[in-house]
Amino acid sequence: MAFLFAFSLVNESYPSVAAVERARLKLKVFFHDRCFDGACSAALFSRFYRERVSSDVQFVFSGLLHRAGALFNEEDFDGDQNAIVDFKYSPSRKITWWFDHHESAFLSAADAAHFEQEQSNRKFYDPSFKSCTSFISMIAQQRFGFDPSVVSELVHWADIIDGALYADAKTAVEMKEPAMQLTMVIESTQDAAFVPQLIPLLATKSLAEVIRAPFVAPLLPPLLERHQKSIALLRERTESKDATLFFDVTDYELEGYNKFVPYFLHPESIYSVGLSRSSFRTKVSVGSNPWSPSPPLVNLAKVCERYGGGGHARVGAISFDVNQQAEARKAAEEIVQELRASVRNYPAQSR
């Protein structure tokens, strides 16, 4: 693809730490908020930057969320340098670094064209990676001489969680591993300061140590209890037809539910479409069963893009204003009908 051009640029030599940045540079790192891969991407980027670019830097972490309307506020890009990781592209001249792996990385064709002309060797894109964390790790190693072994646990679990590489649905729902428990905490938090406080720990501590941190550990028991209740609720609310699931939980504050629960409850499914609500948006989640007996053939990122959303080929989402529940429900119902029709029209050999 043409817009992979900036990714293909080769830096033949590692940058000189002394020559690159001035003392106490303020580097503002914008990351995909309420997302394990987003938090890990910010942590890995900050460690790489401190070790291979400049150790005399002050990091400020700021979460970004997909929502209805503008995703970026130019006034927020107030660092001496500004980086975006695991989130859509911004053509702002204030953005110094960018890493993403989502198929729907560009808000417009103009943004994609802008990226094609990028020659700073500091903005990178490749949708073939399971996680943005593993993508940053590779770039940091190959272009800047970073040792990825120090963040191998982050890369390992970011790939599993963002790439849905669990052995089975039961494993994904049991939530036994520290990384999975931490994901639940990250996705459920309503505190804008929580993940920025977490990121420096992710850069230096094991996940088992992070989950025991005093500001993290007390959050886990009530979330595990809510997780069990959400399984019962989704069992009650989910409608299964033509290997496509649909559920509406907008009457509950349940946006951070475990997205693998529907497939655990309905292993015969291929697709799922869910409606949920939070304080700032109504969300349509569209996914495919990683353990489906039949392969998904519909590119879900393309489906979601038609409604202003995006994501990956096998999972995507659309954000509506919190007051646009009728519009969100209409979109969800249309997508459900489209996916069910695609299943009915599968060639016999594909089932």
Q: Are strands 271-277 and 123-125 parallel, antiparallel or unpaired?
A: unpaired
**228 and 202 in a common domain:** no
Over range 194-204, report the average pLDDT: 98
**Domain range spanning residue 139?**
2-210
**71 and 155 in a common domain:** yes
In a domain? residue 202: yes
In a domain? residue 338: yes
In a domain? residue 218: no
Over range 203-218, report the average pLDDT: 98
Q: pTM for this structure? A: 0.86
Of 290, 305, 350, 275, give the one whose Cα is nearest residue 342: 350
Last residue of a domain, one of 210, 239, 264: 210
Scanning the structure block, which residue is given the tokens 């979330």? 223
**200 and 277 in a common domain:** no
**252 and 206 in a common domain:** no
pLDDT of 152 > 90? The answer is yes
- Please report the pLDDT score of residue 12 as a whole number: 39
In a domain? residue 215: no
pLDDT of 192 > 90? The answer is yes
Last residue of a domain, one of 177, 210, 243: 210
* Number of other residues whose CB lies within 10 A of the CB of residue 149: 10
In a domain? residue 333: yes
Q: What is the CATH number of the domain that holds 310?
A: 3.10.310.30
- Please report the pLDDT score of residue 256 as a whole number: 74
**278 and 131 in a common domain:** no
Number of domains in the chain: 2
pLDDT of 27 > 90? The answer is yes
pLDDT of 3 > 70? The answer is no
